[in-house]
Structure 1
Amino acid sequence: MKTNATLFWILAIFFFLMCAVYVLWSLLDTGKVEWAGTLGIGLAGMLGAFLAFYMGRSHATQGGELPEDRLDANIDDGDPEMGFFSPWSWWPIILAAGCSLIFLALAVGMWIIYIGAALTAVALVGWVYEYYRGNFAH
């Protein structure tokens, strides 16, 4: 992760330098600043700086190198517990259908949002309370 942070810092510096070159070039060519390109290149530099800062802070707080970053690590070293997933649950599929209807409403008609929102709410409640009823009740 430290290498990634270094690469993003290099990328941010490159974009900031290219932004300055772009501003000077547009001033020499037209006599005024071309704002669309200047802001685009400058914001690309800001994005690189934000990502580099985040990765640097994440590397500092994780307490050393991750197993994925070490050459002598085994595959099992980076095998964390991912959480508990319901193996026979149909609720995620119903939730995906409800969210799909909500996004479909943006293209077809806003009245579909009511159907999608109702289906999404039912699916969320069903998924959350799945282990409180039926065969798998606590």
Structure 2
Amino acid sequence: MKSEAWIFGITTVFVVLVTPAYWLVTDSSDKGGDWTGTSALAMTGLLTLMVTLYLGFHAKKMDPRPEDRLDGEIADGAGELGFFPPYSWWPLWCGATLGVMVFGVAAGAWWLFIIGGILGAVALAGLVFEYYRGVHAH
């Protein structure tokens, strides 16, 4: 994880250096620079800093992975990598009901928002509990 921490650290430094430069370059009036882009860059810098700190702290506590060691071999990374869920239709229905809810708000049809919310609760319950019943039950 040290390599990932370094990548995010370099990205953080880059964004921190670019943010004031962006604000100065976009200064087209007496009011100051573009606050939208400057705010987005500042938040990007904070987010990359957060990921850098997280990865840095965990890299110190973990044993080095095979790809982090200089003497690591390809065979060292063999074995089970983790659990990867099979196909699922539930994310589609969760997204569709969210789309119905957003359309209901945009169109001013609160009844459509409520219907989308009820169907969304069913879809979310299906997504959460899909590994407790059916073909993929544990």
What SS does the corresponding residue of 1:111 show, helix, strand or coil? Answer: helix
CA deviations 1:18-57 (Å, max 9, x no partner) are: 445567x67xxx9996472655544443233222112212
Q: Which amino acid aligns with 1:46?
A: L
Q: Give the 3 Å change call, closer, same or farther, for CA 93–13 of structure 1 in structure 2.
A: closer
| 1:16 aligns to 2:38 (yes or no) | no
Compute the TM-score of the two structures, normalised by the length of structure 2. 0.56
Structure 1 pair 111–41 and aligned structure 2 pair: CA distance change class (3 A): same
Residue 65 and residue 126 in structure 1: after superposition, are their counterparts in 2 closer, same or farther (change >3 A)?
same
- Please tell me whether Structure 1 or Structure 2 has the larger radius of gyration of its CA atoms: 1
| Percent of aligned positions that are identical | 28
Preserved CA contact (<8 Å) 2:3 2:68: no
TM-score by length of 1: 0.56
Residue 72 (structure 1) aligns with: 73
In the alignment, structure 1 residue 81 sits paired with structure 2 residue 80: no
**Is 2:97 the counterpart of 1:98?**
yes
Aligned to 2:3: 3
- Size of the alignment, in residue pairs? 128
CA positional deviation for 1:60: 3.0
Distance of aligned partners of 1:15 and 1:81 in 2 relative to their CA distance in 1, 3 Å threshold:
closer
Once residues 95 and 116 of structure 2 are traced to their aligned partners in structure 1, the CA distance between those partners, rounded to angstroms, is 10
RMSD of aligned C-alpha atoms?
A: 4.4
Which AA in structure 2 matches 1:99?
L
Other-structure match for 2:49: 49
Measured in 1, the distance between the counterparts of 2:90 and 2:48 equals 39
Measured after TM superposition, the shift of residue 7 of structure 1 is: 1.9
Call closer, same or farther: CA 1:111–1:35 in 2, change over 3 Å: same
For structure 2, the 5+ residue unaligned runs are none
Gap regions ≥5 residues in structure 1: none
Cα distance in 2 between the residues matched to 1:122 and 1:20 = 47
Does structure 2 conserve the Cα–Cα contact (< 8 Å) formed by 1:67 and 1:77?
Answer: no
C-alpha deviation, 1:14, in angstroms: 2.8
Larger helix percent: 1
